[in-house]
Chain A
Protein backbone atom coordinates (compact mmCIF):
# COMPACT_ATOMS: atom_id res chain seq x y z
CA UNK A 1 0.00 0.00 0.00
CA UNK A 2 1.35 3.40 -0.97
CA UNK A 3 0.37 6.48 0.99
CA UNK A 4 0.79 9.92 -0.51
CA UNK A 5 -0.12 13.26 0.94
CA UNK A 6 -1.10 16.76 0.00
CA UNK A 7 -0.87 19.50 2.62
CA UNK A 8 -3.59 22.11 3.00
CA UNK A 9 -2.25 25.20 4.72
CA UNK A 10 -3.23 28.81 5.28
CA UNK A 11 -3.88 31.34 8.02
CA UNK A 12 -6.16 30.83 11.00
CA UNK A 13 -9.83 30.47 9.99
CA UNK A 14 -9.07 30.24 6.25
CA UNK A 15 -11.28 27.15 5.96
CA UNK A 16 -8.74 24.32 5.89
CA UNK A 17 -10.75 21.84 7.96
CA UNK A 18 -13.87 22.47 5.89
CA UNK A 19 -11.88 22.10 2.66
CA UNK A 20 -10.67 18.65 3.67
CA UNK A 21 -14.07 17.65 5.02
CA UNK A 22 -15.68 18.37 1.62
CA UNK A 23 -13.79 15.61 -0.18
CA UNK A 24 -12.67 13.21 2.51
CA UNK A 25 -14.27 9.77 2.45
CA UNK A 26 -13.84 9.48 6.21
CA UNK A 27 -14.91 11.90 8.89
CA UNK A 28 -11.98 14.26 9.14
CA UNK A 29 -9.73 13.19 11.95
CA UNK A 30 -9.62 16.51 13.64
CA UNK A 31 -7.59 17.84 16.52
CA UNK A 32 -9.81 20.84 17.11
CA UNK A 33 -9.87 22.45 20.52
CA UNK A 34 -11.91 25.26 21.99
CA UNK A 35 -10.29 28.62 21.47
CA UNK A 36 -9.27 30.46 24.58
CA UNK A 37 -7.46 33.58 23.34
CA UNK A 38 -9.89 36.49 23.00
CA UNK A 39 -8.26 37.78 19.81
CA UNK A 40 -8.75 34.48 18.08
CA UNK A 41 -12.41 34.02 18.95
CA UNK A 42 -13.60 34.40 15.38
CA UNK A 43 -14.68 30.79 15.65
CA UNK A 44 -15.25 28.56 18.63
CA UNK A 45 -12.62 25.90 17.93
CA UNK A 46 -9.42 25.53 15.96
CA UNK A 47 -6.99 22.89 14.77
CA UNK A 48 -4.06 22.48 17.14
CA UNK A 49 -2.06 19.61 15.64
CA UNK A 50 -3.41 18.63 12.27
CA UNK A 51 -6.51 17.45 10.46
CA UNK A 52 -6.47 14.68 8.07
CA UNK A 53 -8.82 13.34 5.50
CA UNK A 54 -8.48 10.32 3.28
CA UNK A 55 -9.27 9.49 -0.33
CA UNK A 56 -8.72 5.86 -1.30
CA UNK A 57 -7.63 5.64 -4.92
CA UNK A 58 -7.47 1.84 -5.24
CA UNK A 59 -6.21 -1.18 -3.33
CA UNK A 60 -2.67 0.08 -3.55
CA UNK A 61 -2.87 3.81 -3.24
CA UNK A 62 -4.31 6.19 -0.65
CA UNK A 63 -4.19 9.94 -0.70
CA UNK A 64 -4.14 11.77 2.62
CA UNK A 65 -5.01 15.43 2.95
CA UNK A 66 -3.26 17.04 5.89
CA UNK A 67 -4.49 20.35 7.24
CA UNK A 68 -1.98 22.41 9.16
CA UNK A 69 -2.84 24.27 12.34
CA UNK A 70 -3.55 27.88 11.45
CA UNK A 71 -2.36 29.57 14.60
CA UNK A 72 1.22 30.75 14.50
CA UNK A 73 2.18 29.21 17.81
CA UNK A 74 1.76 25.77 16.26
CA UNK A 75 4.00 26.46 13.28
CA UNK A 76 6.59 23.98 14.54
CA UNK A 77 4.18 21.37 13.12
CA UNK A 78 4.44 22.71 9.59
CA UNK A 79 7.85 21.35 8.73
CA UNK A 80 6.91 17.91 10.03
CA UNK A 81 3.71 17.91 8.00
CA UNK A 82 5.47 19.09 4.86
CA UNK A 83 7.86 16.16 4.79
CA UNK A 84 7.24 14.01 1.75
CA UNK A 85 4.25 15.94 0.46
CA UNK A 86 3.40 15.77 -3.24
CA UNK A 87 2.37 19.40 -3.20
CA UNK A 88 0.44 21.89 -1.13
CA UNK A 89 -2.61 24.13 -1.23
CA UNK A 90 -2.48 27.56 0.39
CA UNK A 91 -5.98 28.56 1.42
CA UNK A 92 -6.68 32.28 1.75
CA UNK A 93 -9.77 33.83 3.31
CA UNK A 94 -10.84 36.19 0.49
CA UNK A 95 -12.93 38.29 2.87
CA UNK A 96 -10.18 39.00 5.41
CA UNK A 97 -7.42 41.08 3.79
CA UNK A 98 -5.78 41.36 7.20
CA UNK A 99 -4.68 37.73 6.77
CA UNK A 100 -3.11 38.16 3.31
CA UNK A 101 0.31 39.06 4.66
CA UNK A 102 0.28 36.01 6.89
CA UNK A 103 -0.81 33.85 3.95
CA UNK A 104 2.13 35.17 1.97
CA UNK A 105 4.46 34.30 4.86
CA UNK A 106 3.05 30.77 5.11
CA UNK A 107 3.45 30.30 1.36
CA UNK A 108 7.09 31.37 1.50
CA UNK A 109 7.74 29.13 4.50
CA UNK A 110 6.33 26.06 2.75
CA UNK A 111 8.21 26.88 -0.44
CA UNK A 112 11.38 26.92 1.63
CA UNK A 113 10.54 23.52 3.17
CA UNK A 114 10.11 21.79 -0.16
CA UNK A 115 10.26 22.87 -3.80
CA UNK A 116 7.04 21.01 -4.60
CA UNK A 117 4.23 22.39 -6.74
CA UNK A 118 1.50 24.39 -5.04
CA UNK A 119 -1.68 26.27 -5.79
CA UNK A 120 -3.39 29.11 -3.95
CA UNK A 121 -7.13 28.88 -3.33
CA UNK A 122 -9.09 32.08 -2.72
CA UNK A 123 -11.65 30.67 -0.31
CA UNK A 124 -14.99 32.14 0.83
CA UNK A 125 -15.70 33.61 -2.59
CA UNK A 126 -19.39 33.41 -1.68
CA UNK A 127 -18.98 36.13 0.98
CA UNK A 128 -20.11 39.66 0.16
CA UNK A 129 -16.80 41.08 1.32
CA UNK A 130 -14.68 38.67 -0.72
CA UNK A 131 -11.90 40.19 -2.78
CA UNK A 132 -11.68 39.12 -6.41
CA UNK A 133 -9.14 36.40 -7.04
CA UNK A 134 -7.02 38.61 -9.29
CA UNK A 135 -6.88 41.34 -6.64
CA UNK A 136 -5.73 38.73 -4.16
CA UNK A 137 -3.02 37.68 -6.60
CA UNK A 138 -1.68 41.22 -6.57
CA UNK A 139 -2.00 41.55 -2.83
CA UNK A 140 -0.06 38.33 -2.32
CA UNK A 141 2.42 39.30 -5.05
CA UNK A 142 1.94 35.98 -6.80
CA UNK A 143 3.61 35.40 -10.14
CA UNK A 144 1.18 35.16 -13.06
CA UNK A 145 2.10 31.50 -13.53
CA UNK A 146 1.06 30.58 -9.97
CA UNK A 147 -2.41 29.06 -10.06
CA UNK A 148 -4.88 31.06 -8.00
CA UNK A 149 -8.30 29.45 -7.90
CA UNK A 150 -11.57 30.83 -6.57
CA UNK A 151 -13.02 28.43 -4.05
CA UNK A 152 -15.79 27.82 -1.54
CA UNK A 153 -14.51 25.14 0.80
CA UNK A 154 -17.99 23.87 1.62
CA UNK A 155 -18.67 23.19 -2.08
CA UNK A 156 -17.17 19.89 -3.14
CA UNK A 157 -16.85 20.82 -6.82
CA UNK A 158 -14.64 23.85 -6.18
CA UNK A 159 -12.49 21.83 -3.79
CA UNK A 160 -12.12 19.13 -6.46
CA UNK A 161 -11.06 21.77 -8.98
CA UNK A 162 -8.36 23.06 -6.61
CA UNK A 163 -7.00 19.56 -6.00
CA UNK A 164 -7.10 18.69 -9.69
CA UNK A 165 -5.23 21.85 -10.63
CA UNK A 166 -2.57 20.99 -8.07
CA UNK A 167 -2.27 17.47 -9.48
CA UNK A 168 -1.99 18.86 -13.03
CA UNK A 169 0.85 21.09 -11.79
CA UNK A 170 2.54 18.09 -10.21
CA UNK A 171 2.19 16.15 -13.46
CA UNK A 172 3.64 19.08 -15.35
CA UNK A 173 6.58 19.34 -12.95
CA UNK A 174 7.39 15.67 -13.55
CA UNK A 175 7.35 16.19 -17.29
CA UNK A 176 9.33 19.41 -17.22
CA UNK A 177 11.44 19.39 -14.06
CA UNK A 178 12.88 22.74 -12.96
CA UNK A 179 16.63 23.29 -13.42
Chain B
Protein backbone atom coordinates (compact mmCIF):
# COMPACT_ATOMS: atom_id res chain seq x y z
CA UNK B 1 0.00 0.00 0.00
CA UNK B 2 1.24 3.47 -0.84
CA UNK B 3 2.17 6.18 1.55
CA UNK B 4 2.88 8.93 -0.87
CA UNK B 5 1.55 12.33 -1.68
CA UNK B 6 2.30 15.98 -2.25
CA UNK B 7 3.75 18.39 0.32
CA UNK B 8 1.27 21.01 -0.79
CA UNK B 9 -1.53 18.86 0.55
CA UNK B 10 0.21 17.03 3.36
CA UNK B 11 2.95 19.03 5.03
CA UNK B 12 6.32 17.63 6.05
CA UNK B 13 5.40 18.17 9.72
CA UNK B 14 2.28 16.07 9.23
CA UNK B 15 4.34 13.27 7.66
CA UNK B 16 6.70 13.31 10.64
CA UNK B 17 3.73 13.19 12.95
CA UNK B 18 2.34 10.18 11.13
CA UNK B 19 5.69 8.35 11.21
CA UNK B 20 6.06 9.17 14.89
CA UNK B 21 2.61 7.98 15.88
CA UNK B 22 2.75 4.84 13.76
CA UNK B 23 6.34 4.17 14.91
CA UNK B 24 7.29 3.43 11.34
CA UNK B 25 10.60 2.04 10.10
CA UNK B 26 11.81 2.78 6.57
CA UNK B 27 12.93 5.50 4.22
CA UNK B 28 11.06 8.68 3.38
CA UNK B 29 12.04 10.20 0.05
CA UNK B 30 11.11 13.82 -0.51
CA UNK B 31 11.63 15.25 -3.98
CA UNK B 32 11.56 19.03 -3.88
CA UNK B 33 12.22 21.46 -6.69
CA UNK B 34 15.73 20.56 -7.82
CA UNK B 35 16.69 18.65 -4.69
CA UNK B 36 15.95 15.32 -3.08
CA UNK B 37 16.18 14.18 0.53
CA UNK B 38 16.25 10.71 1.99
CA UNK B 39 15.28 10.33 5.62
CA UNK B 40 15.51 7.05 7.47
CA UNK B 41 13.44 6.12 10.49
CA UNK B 42 13.56 3.29 12.97
CA UNK B 43 10.52 2.62 15.14
CA UNK B 44 9.29 6.16 14.63
CA UNK B 45 12.64 7.76 15.54
CA UNK B 46 14.83 9.70 13.14
CA UNK B 47 17.85 7.55 12.25
CA UNK B 48 19.53 9.45 9.42
CA UNK B 49 18.76 12.33 7.08
CA UNK B 50 20.60 13.00 3.84
CA UNK B 51 19.96 15.73 1.34
CA UNK B 52 20.75 16.28 -2.31
CA UNK B 53 24.22 15.90 -3.64
CA UNK B 54 25.71 17.45 -0.54
CA UNK B 55 28.79 15.78 0.91
CA UNK B 56 27.41 13.73 3.73
CA UNK B 57 30.17 11.33 4.61
CA UNK B 58 31.28 11.33 8.24
CA UNK B 59 34.32 13.54 7.72
CA UNK B 60 32.21 16.22 6.01
CA UNK B 61 29.65 16.09 8.80
CA UNK B 62 32.37 16.35 11.48
CA UNK B 63 33.83 19.36 9.70
CA UNK B 64 30.41 20.96 9.48
CA UNK B 65 29.99 20.68 13.24
CA UNK B 66 33.57 21.97 13.73
CA UNK B 67 34.81 18.83 15.43
CA UNK B 68 37.54 18.78 12.81
CA UNK B 69 38.77 21.39 10.31
CA UNK B 70 37.94 21.34 6.61
CA UNK B 71 41.56 20.47 5.91
CA UNK B 72 41.48 17.54 8.33
CA UNK B 73 38.25 16.36 6.70
CA UNK B 74 39.92 16.43 3.28
CA UNK B 75 42.88 14.39 4.54
CA UNK B 76 40.64 11.85 6.28
CA UNK B 77 38.56 11.47 3.13
CA UNK B 78 41.62 10.88 1.00
CA UNK B 79 43.03 8.27 3.37
CA UNK B 80 39.80 6.43 4.02
CA UNK B 81 38.38 6.45 0.54
CA UNK B 82 37.32 2.80 0.64
CA UNK B 83 36.02 2.84 4.21
CA UNK B 84 32.47 3.20 5.46
CA UNK B 85 31.38 5.89 7.95
CA UNK B 86 31.25 3.25 10.66
CA UNK B 87 34.84 2.24 9.99
CA UNK B 88 36.02 5.86 9.84
CA UNK B 89 34.21 6.65 13.08
CA UNK B 90 35.79 3.69 14.85
CA UNK B 91 39.20 4.66 13.52
CA UNK B 92 38.92 8.23 14.82
CA UNK B 93 37.58 7.12 18.21
CA UNK B 94 40.18 4.37 18.67
CA UNK B 95 42.95 6.77 17.67
CA UNK B 96 41.71 9.16 20.37
CA UNK B 97 40.97 12.06 18.00
CA UNK B 98 37.32 12.17 18.90
CA UNK B 99 34.94 10.66 21.45
CA UNK B 100 31.93 8.57 20.55
CA UNK B 101 29.80 11.44 21.84
CA UNK B 102 31.47 13.87 19.41
CA UNK B 103 30.57 11.58 16.51
CA UNK B 104 26.97 11.04 17.58
CA UNK B 105 26.41 14.72 18.41
CA UNK B 106 27.64 15.72 14.96
CA UNK B 107 25.48 13.17 13.21
CA UNK B 108 22.42 14.18 15.22
CA UNK B 109 23.03 17.84 14.51
CA UNK B 110 23.37 17.18 10.79
CA UNK B 111 20.18 15.12 10.57
CA UNK B 112 18.26 17.76 12.51
CA UNK B 113 19.60 20.47 10.18
CA UNK B 114 18.33 18.51 7.18
CA UNK B 115 14.91 18.16 8.79
CA UNK B 116 14.83 21.90 9.52
CA UNK B 117 15.50 22.63 5.87
CA UNK B 118 12.70 20.29 4.85
CA UNK B 119 10.24 22.24 6.97
CA UNK B 120 10.64 25.07 4.49
CA UNK B 121 9.70 22.91 1.50
CA UNK B 122 6.14 23.53 0.45
CA UNK B 123 6.36 21.91 -2.97
CA UNK B 124 7.42 18.34 -3.55
CA UNK B 125 6.47 14.72 -3.72
CA UNK B 126 7.02 12.34 -0.84
CA UNK B 127 7.02 8.57 -0.63
CA UNK B 128 7.61 6.25 2.30
CA UNK B 129 9.23 2.89 1.66
CA UNK B 130 9.05 0.46 4.55
CA UNK B 131 11.55 -1.91 2.96
CA UNK B 132 14.56 0.43 2.87
CA UNK B 133 16.73 0.30 5.99
CA UNK B 134 19.58 2.69 6.86
CA UNK B 135 22.35 2.02 4.29
CA UNK B 136 25.04 -0.38 5.48
CA UNK B 137 28.07 1.51 6.66
CA UNK B 138 26.17 4.62 7.74
CA UNK B 139 25.91 5.32 11.46
CA UNK B 140 22.28 5.58 12.56
CA UNK B 141 21.30 7.92 15.37
CA UNK B 142 18.10 7.89 17.38
CA UNK B 143 16.27 11.19 17.63
CA UNK B 144 12.78 11.62 19.08
CA UNK B 145 10.52 13.33 16.57
CA UNK B 146 8.27 15.15 19.03
CA UNK B 147 10.47 18.22 19.42
CA UNK B 148 11.13 18.39 15.70
CA UNK B 149 7.41 18.22 15.06
CA UNK B 150 6.88 21.03 17.54
CA UNK B 151 9.53 23.07 15.77
CA UNK B 152 8.06 22.39 12.35
CA UNK B 153 4.66 23.32 13.61
CA UNK B 154 5.99 26.58 14.99
CA UNK B 155 7.12 27.47 11.50
CA UNK B 156 3.63 27.10 10.20
CA UNK B 157 2.36 30.59 9.71
CA UNK B 158 -0.42 30.18 7.21
CA UNK B 159 -3.47 31.60 8.78
CA UNK B 160 -5.79 29.84 6.36
CA UNK B 161 -4.41 26.46 7.16
CA UNK B 162 -4.62 27.07 10.89
CA UNK B 163 -8.18 28.14 10.51
CA UNK B 164 -9.00 24.96 8.64
CA UNK B 165 -7.36 22.83 11.29
CA UNK B 166 -9.00 24.67 14.17
CA UNK B 167 -12.24 26.00 12.77
CA UNK B 168 -13.63 27.17 16.09
CA UNK B 169 -11.99 28.66 19.17
CA UNK B 170 -15.05 27.65 21.15
CA UNK B 171 -13.65 24.14 21.41
CA UNK B 172 -11.58 23.19 24.44
CA UNK B 173 -8.30 21.31 24.77
CA UNK B 174 -7.60 18.32 26.97
CA UNK B 175 -4.45 16.33 27.53
CA UNK B 176 -4.48 13.08 25.53
CA UNK B 177 -4.58 9.72 27.22
CA UNK B 178 -2.27 8.30 24.56
CA UNK B 179 0.50 6.27 26.16
CA UNK B 180 3.88 7.83 25.54
CA UNK B 181 2.62 11.39 25.26
CA UNK B 182 4.63 13.07 27.94
CA UNK B 183 5.08 16.78 28.50
CA UNK B 184 8.40 16.24 30.22
CA UNK B 185 10.05 15.20 26.95
CA UNK B 186 8.90 18.32 25.14
CA UNK B 187 10.77 21.56 24.93
CA UNK B 188 7.97 24.06 25.22
CA UNK B 189 8.61 27.76 24.87
CA UNK B 190 7.24 30.33 27.28
CA UNK B 191 4.11 31.05 25.24
CA UNK B 192 3.31 27.35 24.95
CA UNK B 193 3.72 26.87 28.68
CA UNK B 194 1.32 29.75 29.29
CA UNK B 195 -1.30 27.95 27.20
CA UNK B 196 -0.55 24.53 28.70
CA UNK B 197 -1.29 25.96 32.16
CA UNK B 198 -4.89 26.52 31.10
CA UNK B 199 -5.45 23.24 29.20
CA UNK B 200 -8.61 21.87 30.67
CA UNK B 201 -11.84 20.58 29.07
CA UNK B 202 -13.65 23.41 30.86
CA UNK B 203 -11.68 26.18 29.14
CA UNK B 204 -12.42 27.02 25.53
CA UNK B 205 -9.50 28.14 23.40
CA UNK B 206 -11.12 31.56 23.22
CA UNK B 207 -11.04 31.80 27.02
CA UNK B 208 -7.41 30.65 27.08
CA UNK B 209 -6.55 33.32 24.51
CA UNK B 210 -8.21 35.98 26.66
CA UNK B 211 -6.45 34.80 29.81
CA UNK B 212 -3.05 34.75 28.10
CA UNK B 213 -3.64 37.95 26.09
CA UNK B 214 -3.13 36.18 22.79
CA UNK B 215 -4.82 36.94 19.52
CA UNK B 216 -6.68 34.32 17.44
CA UNK B 217 -3.65 33.52 15.33
CA UNK B 218 -1.31 33.08 18.29
CA UNK B 219 -3.63 30.73 20.18
CA UNK B 220 -4.34 28.72 17.02
CA UNK B 221 -0.63 28.42 16.32
CA UNK B 222 0.11 27.04 19.76
CA UNK B 223 -2.96 24.79 19.89
CA UNK B 224 -2.02 23.39 16.47
CA UNK B 225 1.54 22.63 17.61
CA UNK B 226 0.29 20.86 20.73
CA UNK B 227 -2.27 18.91 18.69
CA UNK B 228 0.31 17.85 16.12
CA UNK B 229 2.67 16.68 18.84
CA UNK B 230 -0.17 14.56 20.19
CA UNK B 231 -0.07 16.23 23.60
CA UNK B 232 -3.64 17.53 23.52
CA UNK B 233 -6.87 16.85 21.70
CA UNK B 234 -9.88 19.03 20.94
CA UNK B 235 -13.05 18.45 22.88
CA UNK B 236 -16.35 20.16 23.32
CA UNK B 237 -15.94 22.43 26.34
CA UNK B 238 -17.52 21.16 29.54
CA UNK B 239 -20.58 23.02 30.68
CA UNK B 240 -21.76 23.94 27.20
CA UNK B 241 -24.57 21.57 26.31
CA UNK B 242 -24.22 20.05 22.86
CA UNK B 243 -26.53 21.42 20.22
CA UNK B 244 -29.30 18.85 19.92
CA UNK B 245 -31.04 19.06 16.58
CA UNK B 246 -34.67 18.20 16.37
CA UNK B 247 -34.96 14.51 15.59
CA UNK B 248 -37.19 13.20 12.88
CA UNK B 249 -37.55 10.12 15.01
CA UNK B 250 -37.53 10.99 18.68
CA UNK B 251 -36.78 7.79 20.53
CA UNK B 252 -39.80 7.23 22.70
CA UNK B 253 -37.84 5.09 25.06
CA UNK B 254 -34.58 3.25 25.18
CA UNK B 255 -36.01 -0.21 24.49
CA UNK B 256 -38.03 1.03 21.55
CA UNK B 257 -35.02 2.78 20.12
CA UNK B 258 -32.88 -0.34 20.53
CA UNK B 259 -35.50 -2.44 18.83
CA UNK B 260 -35.60 -0.01 15.92
CA UNK B 261 -31.82 -0.13 15.47
CA UNK B 262 -31.88 -3.93 15.73
CA UNK B 263 -34.47 -4.05 12.92
CA UNK B 264 -32.22 -1.87 10.80
CA UNK B 265 -29.27 -4.15 11.51
CA UNK B 266 -31.21 -7.24 10.52
CA UNK B 267 -32.36 -5.58 7.31
CA UNK B 268 -28.88 -4.42 6.28
CA UNK B 269 -27.49 -7.90 7.01
CA UNK B 270 -30.07 -9.40 4.69
CA UNK B 271 -29.23 -7.13 1.75
Contact = CB atoms under 8 A, between A and B. Distances in A.
Residue among A55, A58, A139 facing the most chain B CB atoms (10 A cut-off): A139
B123 to A, nearest CB: 13
B246 interface: yes
A40 to B, nearest CB: 15
A164 B269 CA distance: 8
Interface of B: 1-6, 8-10, 14, 17-18, 21-22, 161, 164-165, 167-168, 227, 233-234, 236, 242-249, 251, 254, 257-258, 260-265, 267-269, 271
A134 interface: yes
20 contacts: A4-B249, A58-B263, A82-B245, A101-B161, A102-B164, A108-B234, A109-B167, A112-B168, A114-B243, A115-B244, A130-B1, A130-B2, A131-B1, A132-B1, A135-B3, A139-B14, A143-B233, A160-B268, A167-B264, A174-B257
A112 to B, nearest CB: 7
A134 to B, nearest CB: 7
A77 to B, nearest CB: 14
A26 interface: no
Contact of A105 (B5, B167, B248): B167
Nearest to B250: A84
Interface of A is mostly: helix
B44 to A, nearest CB: 11
A175 B261 CA distance: 12
Interface size class for chain A? 35 or more
A168 B234 CA distance: 25
Nearest to A168: B265
A102 B257 CA distance: 33
Contacts of B244: 114-115
A171 B245 contact: no
Contacts of B6: 97-98
A27 interface: no
Contacts of A129: 2, 4
B245 A23 contact: no
Nearest to A3: B248
Contacts of B21: 138
Contacts of B22: 134-135, 138
Contact of A55 (B1, B165, B248, B268): B268
A42 interface: no
Nearest to A115: B242
A141 B265 CA distance: 29
Given A97-B9, A98-B6, A139-B18, A63 B243 contact: no
Interface string A154-179: 00100010011001101100110000
A105 B260 contact: no
Nearest to B9: A98
Contacts of B267: 55-58, 63
Residue among A82, A98, A143, A167 facing the most chain B CB atoms (10 A cut-off): A167
B263 A101 contact: no
Nearest to A156: B271
A127 B262 CA distance: 34
